[in-house]
């Protein structure tokens, strides 16, 4: 058996078309467009490529986009002042602080300083709490988990009553996706297990999974014998394992490998996401969706 590929690159186009259409309608009716600022501190290559893609996507959708680059040695206080400026700017509906931040920065303080109503990353404790409560409380689901759930739904994978196993307990992916999959509602209502570095027998749990979501950051961690035949395998790993020259551009690019042994896993799984081209493109797409949502919340508040 060869698994059906869940292509983030294709699903992205469907969702971006929906966002573009809604943005145009709002612009015509209210004369405003979603505004997004990205604060990038330093020159981390992975962060630069993420941010570049984000700018291209925002421009394509007709969003207002501000790219605010700051030096590696910026202080926490200066960063807090910058966030305060964007919190007060009515033309900005989303503030994204690209992670990781340099060591001298108090990351918790910085993330907590973002206005929860502009926290399109969904990292502020208020939004983490709203996600935990679920339902209509949720304003900004974090982008990668939201993208994963969207892929599962659009691929037609049954989640009601499914055994979902999440590998990894990060705040960005593992914990929020586990939380989202156990809520009542579409694309959820599953029985969820999280496995991590403290788990005694990771393989045992993975073998039970109808939906296996892997966000461990370990290239090729998941072996084919860990996968239940017909399962849906979502590989969130984006591991840089080397460099190569791009055939398209002639420039040096990173060689990426997922957390799943893809070639062997696709013979067993029912659905699988490739790396690259799987979950990766969904993160920026959901960031755009959250930014549009933020503007819509603002317009609703203005009406009330
Ligand atoms: N770094 C890696 N993933 C993310 C993300 O989803 N948001 C932000 N802000 N930084 C990241």
Please provide the DSSP assignment of 87-148 as one string. HH-TT--EEEEPSSPPTTS-HHHHHHHS-GGG-TT--SHHHHHHHHH-GGG-S---HHHHHH
Say if residues 223 and 244 touch (Cβ distance below 8 Å).
no
SS3 236: coil
Residue 132's pLDDT band, with cuts at 50, 70 and 90, is very high
Catalytic residue among 117, 118, 119, 121: 121
pLDDT digits (tens, 9 = 90+) for 164-196: 999 999 999 999 999 999 999 999 999 999 999
Least confident span in 16-20, 48-52, 118-122, 204-208: 48-52
Q: Find residue 239's DSSP bridge partners.
A: 257
Q: Using a pLDDT cut of 90, give the percent of the chain over it.
A: 96
C-alpha span between 90 and 72 (Å, rounded): 28
Distance 141 CA to ligand 1 centre (A): 13
Give catalytic status of residue 293 as yes or no.
no
Q: How far is the CA of 121 from the centre of ligand 1 (A)?
A: 8
The preferred substitution site among 172, 176, 217, 237 for testing ligand 1, maximizing ligand atoms within 8 Å of CB, is 172
User: Does the structure show a pLDDT above 70 at 78?
Assistant: yes
**DSSP class of 65:** E
Q: How confident is the model at residue 1 (pLDDT cuts 50, 70, 90)?
A: low
User: Taking residues 153-166, what's their average pLDDT?
Assistant: 98
**For residue 99, which atom of ligand 1 is closest to its CA?**
10
What pLDDT was estimated at residue 244?
94
The alpha carbon of 58 and the centre of ligand 1 are apart by a number of angstroms equal to 16
Cβ atoms of residues 30 and 22 within 8 Å = no
Residue 304 has pLDDT above 90, yes or no: no
Please tell me the predicted confidence (pLDDT) of residue 74.
Answer: 98
In a mutational test of the pocket of ligand 1, which residue from 42, 45, 47, 50 has the highest number of ligand atoms less than 8 Å from its CB? 50
Q: How far apart are CA 177 and CA 142, in angstroms?
A: 9
Question: Which residue among 42, 83, 98, 142 has the greatest number of ligand 1 atoms within 8 angstroms of its CB, and so is best to mutate?
Answer: 98
Answer yes or no: is pLDDT of 284 > 70: yes
Residue 244: active-site member: no
Q: Is 11 left (phi over 0), alpha (psi -120 to 50) or beta?
A: alpha
- Give whole-number Cα distances, 17 to 50, 140, 262, in Å: 20, 20, 30
Cα distance between residue 114 and residue 36, in whole Å: 13
Sign for the pseudo-dihedral over CA of 165, 240, 69, 41: positive
| Spacing, Cα 45 to ligand 1 middle (Å) | 13
pLDDT for the residue numbered 38: 97
**Ligand 1 centre from 170 Cα, in Å?**
12
Cross-strand bridge partners of residue 165: 193, 212
pLDDT for the residue numbered 221: 98
With a Cβ cut-off of 6 Å, ligand 1 is lined by: 96-99, 121, 143-144, 172, 283
Ligand 1 atom, smallest distance to 172 CA: 6
Residues 61, 26: Cα–Cα separation, whole Å: 12
Residue nearest (by alpha carbon) to ligand 1 atom 11 = 99
- What is the residue-averaged pLDDT of the chain? 97
- Give the separation between CA 159 and CA 234, rounded to whole angstroms: 13
Report the Cα–Cα distance between both ends of the chain, in Å, rounded. 55
Nearest Cα neighbor of 206 from 190, 227, 177 is 227
Q: How far apart are CA 207 and CA 213, in angstroms?
A: 12
Give residues with Cβ within 8 angstroms of 270, minimum separation 6: 1, 3, 4, 229, 230, 231, 232
**Segment 60-76 mean pLDDT:** 97
> Catalytic site residue 139?
no
For every residue of 9-54, DSSP letters joined together read HHHHHHHHHHHHHHHHHHHHHHS---EEEEEEES--HHHHHHHHHH
pLDDT at 46: 86
Distance (Å) from CA 47 to ligand 1 centroid: 8
């Amino acid at each position: 058996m060869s698994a059906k590929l869940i292509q983030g690159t294709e699903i992205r186009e469907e969702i971006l078309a929906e966002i573009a259409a809604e943005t145009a309608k709002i612009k015509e009716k209210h004369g405003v467009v979603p505004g997004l600022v990205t604060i990038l501190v330093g020159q981390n290559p992975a962060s630069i490529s993420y941010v570049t893609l984000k700018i291209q996507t925002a421009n394509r959708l007709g969003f207002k986009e501000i790219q605010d680059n700051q030096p590696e040695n910026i202080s926490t206080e200066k960063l807090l002042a910058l966030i305060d400026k964007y919190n007060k700017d009515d033309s900005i509906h989303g503030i994204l602080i690209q992670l990781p931040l340099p060591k001298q920065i108090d990351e918790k303080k910085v993330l907590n300083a973002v206005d929860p109503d502009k926290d399109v990353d969904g990292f502020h404790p208020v939004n983490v709490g709203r996600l935990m409560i679920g339902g209509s409380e949720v304003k900004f689901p974090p982008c990668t988990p939201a993208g994963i759930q969207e892929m599962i739904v659009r691929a037609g994978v049954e989640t009601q009553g499914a055994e979902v196993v999440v590998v990894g307990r990060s705040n960005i992916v593992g914990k929020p996706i586990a939380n989202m999959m156990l809520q009542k509602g579409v694309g959820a209502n599953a029985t969820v297990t999280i496995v991590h570095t403290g788990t005694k027998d990771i393989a045992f749990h993975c073998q039970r999974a109808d939906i296996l979501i892997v966000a461990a950051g370990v290239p090729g961690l998941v072996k084919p014998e860990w996968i239940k035949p017909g399962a849906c395998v979502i590989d969130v790993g984006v591991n840089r394992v080397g460099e190569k020259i791009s055939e398209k551009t002639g420039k040096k690019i990173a060689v990426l490998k997922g957390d799943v042994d893809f070639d062997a896993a696709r013979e067993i799984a029912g659905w699988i996401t490739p790396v690259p081209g799987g979950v990766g493109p969904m993160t920026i797409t959901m960031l755009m969706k959250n930014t549009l949502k933020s503007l819509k919340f603002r317009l609703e508040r203005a009406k009330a």
